[in-house]
A and B are shown apart, each in its own frame.
Chain A
Amino acid sequence: MAKTAERFAFATFDVLESERIAGPRYSYWKSVFQTFFKRKTAIFWLALLLSLTLMSFIQPLVSGYDPAVAPNINTPSTWYQKPSAEHWFGTDDRGNDLWDVVWSGTRMSLSIAFIAAAINIGVGILVGAVWGYSKRLDPILLAVYNVVSNVPYILRSMMLMYIFGRGFWQMILAMTITGWLSIAFFIRTQVMIIRDREYNLASRCLGTPLKRMVTRNILPYMVSVIATLIYQEIPGLINTETILSYLGIGLPSTYPSLGRMIDVYWSFVDTYPHMIVFPGVVMGLVTISFYVVGQLFADASDPRTHR
């Protein structure tokens, strides 16, 4: 007994010390960004994405390009110019600088995709969260979903575009009026899976209010799911826009857009390939960078990848 007393001494209670051993500090968002920026490819694609987006929103303000006005239409010498120091992307069949055309087209396509994606995802998540929780709402929304989802999305948007007429807001309406449904359905299924997990059961037993359950327990769990939705939604909407505009039922000719550019310039693909290459490359880079950045971000936002 005495020996024990020699070897061991009573420790004094230290508040600061007890805080320290409580475990390393973990901040979810900090870890997300740490994991994300650890990858060089992520930084590269994010930089590309940001510069393309910024370029397409700033450049048209500077250039003042308007497809309804073709100032060089009567000076044939300015038509069909190959890329040069003066015109980086060359000029088109009406003497417009392709550099200007490409960026305002990108801006239009991106604006539509951003607005429509914001509406689709916003409404989709809200409705989906409620849908997943409400047992009374479920059969009604499920019936609506079953009817609507039977019609392929592109067919639906074409149909709606025909009904609403051609234009910027009409196109957004056509894309969003049923577009949120599939997202809501997806979220509903996810919420249903997470809703009845043990930790939520425990939380409910302890009397956590519904609002807190949704915002604190369930939504954070779904960050990676939502990130996945966003990165698939935006290239998907750009795709829909190009298809509609290419088929001549999307934006009217007074709007520049990537789909319209392919439509209009395709007839010059043999004679003046630069007119199709530059819009095509920009379009490809924009959509790929969205997709890749989104994918990497979704990976990073999954807590299981955090160290």
Chain B
Amino acid sequence: MLGYVVKRVFQSILSVLIVSTLTLFLVYSCVPRQLVFKGDLVLPKIANKPDEYNDYKFRTWEKLGYIDYMTQQEYAQEVFGADSPNVSQALLRDSSFYEKFRTDLSARGYKVEALPISGYLYATKDVALLTRVFRWYAKLIQIDHPYRIQDPNNPGLKRGYFLTRDWGGGLALAASGTIYKYQIWVDDSFPFFHQNIVRLNMGRSYPTFDGVPVLDVISGGQGRSARREIRTTVRGEEVSFFTSIDEHSLKYKPVLDRLDMNKFEDNYADGNLTTIDPSMLGTSFTIGMYSLLLSLAIGLTVGVIAAMKKDRIFDKITMAYIVFISSIPTLLYIALFARFGMKVLGLPDKFPFLGSQNILSYILPTISLSLGGIAGEALWIRRYMVDQMNADYVKFSRSKGLSQAEVFFKHIVRNALIPIVHSIPMAVIGTLAGALITESFYAVPGMGKMFPSAISDYNNAMIIALTFIFTVVSILAIFLGDILVTFVDPRISLAARKEAR
């Protein structure tokens, strides 16, 4: 068993690597880089200033990893030092630096060109596809340690770990010299145990959520910031203030202002804001999990009853529902259900009408998402049960004189549930994929909606990150399904059986 798990974990990691590498290759090589500016808000404003326009474009491409970019001024600063008077000399029209720039950067493999108006030179070099993919992986895993911060203006920075209490009074392992102050902490929000030591860095979002790390976009809170009163001690003095800073996200801040000094003892003063709305991840997770529970509860009940009353009216209605849901496009039945929910039940058909704080907002998206799942679970449990009905062990149990209910619930259902248990983690993926359309339709601010909007905005970093996450979740789900089924059914063994003799 252990050997099998290790092998599967290895396979899964390999799978994730292959899928994300393929995605990276395809996105970087097939999507024209000019398209990333489609959603850019700055570019149209400077369209009539060719120099700025050029500069902005190349800087953005550099930021996204497409090219290496060097301007004449940057090179002058590199050669002479940032504050040297030679820098401004080098930019004068008759300076010999022009020639030096040309020869030096051409030698480095750059393509040198002049800006259309000012005539200043700049140089660009395409980053090879392989290098780009390699760079993405190279910075993927970030490990925080007490020697991470090297600040020349703060040589006395203490380094090391210590136990402390956060603002809420919870126990936490904090550190100094690291990027993040709080390294490990426990609180009451899922998954209760949190850490900042190993973090994934999948690049920064652009053009939507410009500059924010993509994982922060997905996992960070949304909506207005939530202020609360904090009482704590700073340098021995008791202070109380209103803030919306999330203390667990506090990062090293090189230069503190007076307000920071009043709140914090050390240099860790740069935190994210706590917000009133849950993150995209949280919203999707809530809706997905509830809809999964709903589809299991309703789907299995309906399927079992339909199998028990095979070919009677209840069974026929169930089958009609299953055919309806599996044949017509998802969009159509979600739209139909949304109209029903709005007109008949009076529920909002757009999530933002009532917002994330109101439970009514969640009802229609959750049920919509489970409509497909109900049909799937009902179909499979019914089919398995009908198949089992003529099995020998069922005939035997009947001949033993068991009642109809005993035959069904002690024998048939238990056997029919095995493949269902196997498929539960797969159903998680199902909700994931279904969430793409449901969340878009109801305008739910979740991950599912993020994917299509990232595509229409050409937000490459976000697309790659989401594909990565969805793939990891899918692989994990399939893996869990295989493990789970061995617990339910002792006859199934995952490890390849050794050939007898």
**A binding-site residues for B, Cβ under 8 Å:** 146-147, 150-155, 158-164, 232, 235, 238-239, 242-243, 246-249, 258-259, 262, 266, 269, 276, 280, 283-284, 287-288, 290-292, 295
B212 to chain A, nearest CB (A): 21
| List of A residues within 8 angstroms of B31 by Cβ | 162-163
> Closest 9 CB pairs between A and B?
A291-B327, A247-B452, A152-B433, A239-B329, A163-B30, A242-B329, A162-B455, A287-B327, A163-B26
A159 near B463: Cβ-Cβ < 8 Å: yes
| List of B residues within 8 angstroms of A247 by Cβ | 436-437, 440, 452, 455-456
| List of B residues within 8 angstroms of A249 by Cβ | 452, 455-456
B471 in contact (CB, < 8 A): yes
A266 near B452: Cβ-Cβ < 8 Å: no
| List of B residues within 8 angstroms of A163 by Cβ | 26-27, 30-31
Bound complex: CA A164 to CA B440 (Å): 22
B467 near A151: Cβ-Cβ < 8 Å: yes
B323 near A295: Cβ-Cβ < 8 Å: yes
| List of B residues within 8 angstroms of A283 by Cβ | 328-329, 332
A152 near B432: Cβ-Cβ < 8 Å: yes
| List of B residues within 8 angstroms of A155 by Cβ | 433, 436, 451, 467, 470
Which of B444-501 touch A at CB < 8 Å? 451-452, 455-456, 463, 467, 470-471, 474-475, 478
| List of A residues within 8 angstroms of B327 by Cβ | 235, 287-288, 290-292
B467 near A242: Cβ-Cβ < 8 Å: no
B329 near A243: Cβ-Cβ < 8 Å: yes
Q: Which partner residue on chain A sits nearest B458 by CB separation? A: A162
A147 near B336: Cβ-Cβ < 8 Å: no
A284 near B437: Cβ-Cβ < 8 Å: no
B391 in contact (CB, < 8 A): no
Bound complex: CA A106 to CA B76 (Å): 63
| List of B residues within 8 angstroms of A151 by Cβ | 19, 467, 470-471, 474
B9 in contact (CB, < 8 A): no
22 A-B contacts (beta carbon < 8 Å): A146-B11, A147-B19, A150-B19, A150-B474, A151-B471, A152-B429, A152-B470, A154-B433, A158-B452, A239-B329, A239-B330, A242-B332, A247-B436, A247-B437, A249-B455, A262-B332, A262-B335, A283-B332, A287-B329, A288-B323, A290-B327, A292-B323
Bound complex: CA A153 to CA B471 (Å): 11
Q: Which partner residue on chain B sits nearest A280 by CB separation? A: B332
B151 to chain A, nearest CB (A): 41
**Chain B contact patch, size range:** 35 or more
Bound complex: CA A249 to CA B467 (Å): 16
| List of B residues within 8 angstroms of A238 by Cβ | 329
| List of B residues within 8 angstroms of A159 by Cβ | 23, 26, 463, 467
| List of A residues within 8 angstroms of B234 by Cβ | none
B18 in contact (CB, < 8 A): yes
B441 to chain A, nearest CB (A): 8
Bound complex: CA A37 to CA B170 (Å): 73
B330 near A150: Cβ-Cβ < 8 Å: no
B440 near A246: Cβ-Cβ < 8 Å: yes
A288 near B328: Cβ-Cβ < 8 Å: yes
B414 to chain A, nearest CB (A): 26
Known: A152-B433, A238-B329, A262-B332. 18 other contacts (CB 8 A): A150-B19, A151-B467, A151-B471, A152-B470, A152-B474, A163-B31, A235-B327, A235-B328, A235-B329, A243-B437, A246-B331, A247-B455, A266-B335, A280-B335, A284-B328, A288-B324, A288-B327, A292-B323
B339 in contact (CB, < 8 A): yes
Bound complex: CA A161 to CA B454 (Å): 13
A135 to chain B, nearest CB (A): 17
Which of B308-353 touch A at CB < 8 Å? 323-324, 326-332, 335-336, 339
B412 to chain A, nearest CB (A): 23
Bound complex: CA A290 to CA B327 (Å): 8
Which of B13-64 touch A at CB < 8 Å? 15, 18-19, 23, 26-27, 30-31
Q: Which partner residue on chain A sits nearest B18 by CB separation? A: A147
B339 near A158: Cβ-Cβ < 8 Å: no
Most buried by B among A164, A239, A266: A239
Bound complex: CA A100 to CA B146 (Å): 69
Bound complex: CA A235 to CA B11 (Å): 33
Asked whether A262 and B467 contact (CB < 8 A) given A150-B475, A163-B26, A249-B455, the answer is no
A242 to chain B, nearest CB (A): 4
| List of A residues within 8 angstroms of B440 by Cβ | 246-247
A246 near B332: Cβ-Cβ < 8 Å: no
A81 to chain B, nearest CB (A): 22
A158 near B455: Cβ-Cβ < 8 Å: yes
Q: Which partner residue on chain B sits nearest A151 by CB separation? A: B471
Bound complex: CA A152 to CA B324 (Å): 22
Bound complex: CA A243 to CA B329 (Å): 8
| List of A residues within 8 angstroms of B328 by Cβ | 235, 283-284, 287-288
Asked whether A269 and B429 contact (CB < 8 A) given A147-B19, A158-B452, A288-B328, the answer is no
B326 to chain A, nearest CB (A): 7
| List of B residues within 8 angstroms of A147 by Cβ | 15, 18-19
B122 to chain A, nearest CB (A): 30
| List of B residues within 8 angstroms of A161 by Cβ | 455
B204 to chain A, nearest CB (A): 19
B424 to chain A, nearest CB (A): 16
Bound complex: CA A260 to CA B329 (Å): 13
B8 to chain A, nearest CB (A): 11
Which of B52-103 touch A at CB < 8 Å? none
Query: Which one, B326, B336, B433, B467, contacts A291 given CB within 8 A?
Result: B326
